[in-house]
């Protein structure tokens, strides 16, 4: 297949339990003019051999085996190999509806848009599912300009790269930031949205985002997660320069990134206490900004007050929230 319409890139690392479902959901797409690029990012389980077995029977599948260097580097490897007019991404432990790419491709063509976005559904091991869209943010279908797309992304629309289909030309001189553990999806989304004229959005849930066992409460803390703060600071600076009217929204997400890191430190068994204290100090120093920012909810503002009063009180709030969110015993 010399010129497939869509290139679907799947970064894969140690997801043997989920990979069959992921690949099969791509194979049965109602839009079949696709190439499937499976990027085995140095898996140590059977993921690599599973990829090879599928490639042996489906000529649309191309497997790339590489040394482990993270999801962003794996996506970049896939981008460099992609031949399609459009590019989509799926994580190796997720899966998609049979008509996802037909839906997104039709939206791009019909609206002459550069990016098409669908809804997602988060799936937890306890079978709890929740929509990835805040339905009050958009109508069930809409076409947005760059400004509105960035505004809505900052205000709560999913920033997952995986729920989108892109014109491949957007990646001609732009790649994912390598060596980061989190927030790279948001970083890429905001910057690419700043380059387009039209974004077509449907609320229809076509992407199933799987929260793996213990992925929230039992996730091992890694110092690389500090890159979340770094990338959201870069997004904040980008918005301040290009879209100053959205500064409060960007400030909310930048300050939120401190809570994101702190919450994972709270539930981790071992962390750098010096770094944790610095993060707590930064949140406390931003106390007034958080209380004044209308994009922080009442609960987060209350948690900020708790943190100002006592780290232990904040720790209790965090465990209660995580228990409620995952349905697991925290």
Mean of the pLDDT values across residues 137-155?
A: 89
Q: Give yes or no for residue 208 having a pLDDT over 90.
A: yes
Average pLDDT (297-314) is 93
Most confidently predicted of 70-84, 137-151, 315-329: 70-84
Identify the structural domains of the chain with CATH numbers, from first to last: 6-211 (3.90.550.10), 223-326 (no CATH)
pLDDT for the residue numbered 127: 53
pLDDT of 324 reads: 60
How confident is the model at residue 144, as a pLDDT? 95
pLDDT higher than 60, residue 131: no
Is this structure's pTM higher than 0.85?
yes
What was the pLDDT predicted at 135?
A: 43
SS3 per residue for the chain? CCCCCEEEEEEECCCHHHHHHHHHHHHCCCCCCEEEEEEEECCCCCHHHHHHHHHCCCCCEEEEEECCCCHHHHHHHHHHHCCCCEEEECCCCCEECCCHHHHHHHHHHHHCCCEEEEEEEEEECCCCEEECCCCCCCCCEEEECHHHHHHHHHCCCCCCHHHEEEEHHHHCCCCCCCCCCCCHHHHHHHHHHCCCCCEEEEEEEEEEEEECCCCCCCCCCCHHHHHHHHHHHHHHHHHHHHCHHHHHHHHHHHHHHHHHHHHHHHHCCCCCHHHHHHHHHHHHHCHHHHHHCCCCCHHHHHHHHHHHHCHHHHHHHHHHHHHHHHCCCC
Mean pLDDT score, 161-172: 95
Judge whether residue 182 has pLDDT over 90.
no
Question: What's the pLDDT tens digit per position in 14-57?
Answer: 999 999 999 999 999 999 999 999 999 999 999 999 999 999 99
Across 123-131, average pLDDT: 60
pLDDT for the residue numbered 132? 55
* pLDDT attached to residue 330: 32
Where is pLDDT greater, at 95 or 323?
95
pLDDT digits (tens, 9 = 90+) for 232-254: 999 999 999 999 999 999 999 99
């Amino acid at each position: 297949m010399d010129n497939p319409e869509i290139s679907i890139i799947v970064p894969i690392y140690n997801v043997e339990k989920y990979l069959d479902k992921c690949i099969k959901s791509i194979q049965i797409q109602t839009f079949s003019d696709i190439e499937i690029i499976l990027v085995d990012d140095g898996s140590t389980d059977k993921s690599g051999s599973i990829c090879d077995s599928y490639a042996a029977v489906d000529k649309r599948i191309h497997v790339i085996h590489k040394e482990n260097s993270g999801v962003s580097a794996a996506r970049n490897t896939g981008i460099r190999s992609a031949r399609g007019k459009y590019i989509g991404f799926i994580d190796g432990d997720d899966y998609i509806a049979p008509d996802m790419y037909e839906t997104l491709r039709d939206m791009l063509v019909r609206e002459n848009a550069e990016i098409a976005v669908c809804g997602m559904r988060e799936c937890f091991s306890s079978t709890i599912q929740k929509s990835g869209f805040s339905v009050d943010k958009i109508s069930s279908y809409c076409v947005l300009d760059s400004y509105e797309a960035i505004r809505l992304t900052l205000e709560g629309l999913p920033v997952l790269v995986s729920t989108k289909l892109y014109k491949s030309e957007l990646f001609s001189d732009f790649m994912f930031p390598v060596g980061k553990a989190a927030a790279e999806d948001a970083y890429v989304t905001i910057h690419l949205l700043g380059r387009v004229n039209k974004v077509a959005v449907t609320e229809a849930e076509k992407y199933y985002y799987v929260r793996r066992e213990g992925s929230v409460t039992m996730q091992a803390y890694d110092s690389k997660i500090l890159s979340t703060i770094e990338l959201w600071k870069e997004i904040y600076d980008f918005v301040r320069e290009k879209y100053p009217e959205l500064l409060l929204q960007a400030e909310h997400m930048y300050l939120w990134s401190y809570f994101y890191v702190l919450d994972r430190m709270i539930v981790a068994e071992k962390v750098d206490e010096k770094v944790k204290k610095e993060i707590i100090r930064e949140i406390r120093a931003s106390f007034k900004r958080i209380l004044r920012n209308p994009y922080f909810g009442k609960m987060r503002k209350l948690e900020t007050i708790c943190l100002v009063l006592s780290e232990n009180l904040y720790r209790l709030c965090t465990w209660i929230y995580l228990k409620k969110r995952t349905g697991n015993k925290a």
